[in-house]
Amino acid sequence: MSRTAKGVAVLASTTLALALAACGGDSQGEEERPAADPAAMKAELTWWDTSDPKNEGPVFQELIARFNETYPNIKINYQSVPFGEAQNKFKTAAQAKTGAPDILRAEVAWVPEFASLGYLYALDGSELLADEADFLATPLASNKYDGKTYGVPQVTDTLSLMYNKELLAEAGVAAAPTTWAELKTVAQAVTQKTGAEGLYVNPAGYFLLPFMYGEGGDLVDVEAKKITVGSDRNVAGLKIAKDLIDSGAAVKPSANDSYGTMMTLFKEQQVAMIINGPWEVNNVTQAPSFGGVENLGIAPVPGGSARAGGPVGGHNYTIWSGMPQEKVDAAVAFVAFMSSTESQAFLSEKLGLLPTRKSAYDLDAVRNNPIVTAYQPAVEAAVGRPWIPEAGQFFEPLDQMATEVLIQNRDPKAALDAVAKRYQAEVVTSFGL
């Protein structure tokens, strides 16, 4: 699987240089060439964008148009690929060595997995990482595998408590709840005094992590090579989430398209509070019936007995190691532009997405953005996930568990024990229980 892309041109507008090496390969020397004229560069690249095609996709396409103002002869074949399908779709294409995109917007947990399989270029030594210190440490860490770096951080995020300010005020609530117990009380007050529902809990594994983290739980202990998803701490966290529904503080989740139902109810002011991330800010604030950005409250997820924190999330730009050698210069130019300080500030201004570059936070478009400011405490409290190749496989069993517990009323302990057994049999087979 080893490939080496030698002699990546120094690009005049982005000051990029040096070689890229695929997983398992070592650079075989560096060959600098004169700065290339951006207008003279010709290539056709395919980019799989896994963002929301209606909410975020058009803004990423605006960035592509800006890129083509400088690089008019680099054609970007923009393809919106559903997030839930992209991970396996990319692996299938990369393994077959055909049909994979040149550039992939990869969820943070996917990068170590794809790198371990040899499907990504290592970027060490490339000028894509010449200003590595400008990237926030946690988003950058998700791109590391076996001592090398296989991606460039695009956006960082975490889950937060998103709430309708008007509904909370109507219920007599002056501030966002900071504990799950307070959340339950506030949700019940909203239902009693406003006619709206208080809360919607999405029955998906990722959205249950704040409940497990809140009791001090986690999925695995990487250092001890132990599966901890079935711990008593996680059981306690799940019971809190289940109690919110059983008590009526939260709506009974829908068995079909629960996420879509949650967003519709929130945008239509039929539910006062949800747990979600910055990728939905634009969707919510642009909804005709919501009341604009002024009506959107954002706070860190409430805490349990141990702590408060959502999972670290986000996405990275990665380059397929099976790309034809002659396209590498163009791919590097595209990733450099899309991950630049200015591009990240543009995404922040348009969508409320959180930059991964420190320098972006010095720009007015970011520094004065109320959404970014609101999310910073949530990001600071976020809990790091294990950056191991298997981490991207954790969530299918968790999603099944969430449905069983929150919709089908299965016992939390039994459901988590089943997840632990699947992890050992199918995911982290070298870990103990």
Q: Is 223 exposed, middle or buried (0-12, 13-18, 19+ CB in 10 A)?
A: exposed
| pLDDT tens per residue across span 145-184 | 999 999 999 999 999 999 999 999 999 999 999 999 999 9
Q: Where are the beta strands (DSSP E) in 169-325?
A: 197-200, 220-221, 226-227, 271-276, 296-300, 313-319
| pLDDT tens per residue across span 119-152 | 999 999 888 999 999 999 999 999 999 999 999 9
User: Would the pLDDT of 24 be above 80?
Assistant: no
| pLDDT tens per residue across span 203-236 | 999 999 999 999 999 999 999 999 999 999 999 9
- Give the H or E element holding residue 342: helix 341-351
Residues linked to residue 315 through DSSP beta bridges, in sequence order: 107, 155
Residue 7: what pLDDT?
A: 29
Tell me if 160 sits within 8 A of 354, measured CB to CB: no
User: Would the pLDDT of 5 be above 70?
Assistant: no
> What distance in Å separates the CA atoms of residue 213 and residue 102, rounded to the nearest whole number?
36
- Return the C-alpha torsion angle 47, 53, 56, 57, nearest 10: 40
User: Would the pLDDT of 14 be above 70?
Assistant: no
Residue 46: what pLDDT?
A: 98
Nearest of 47, 45, 25, 34 to residue 7 by alpha carbon: 34
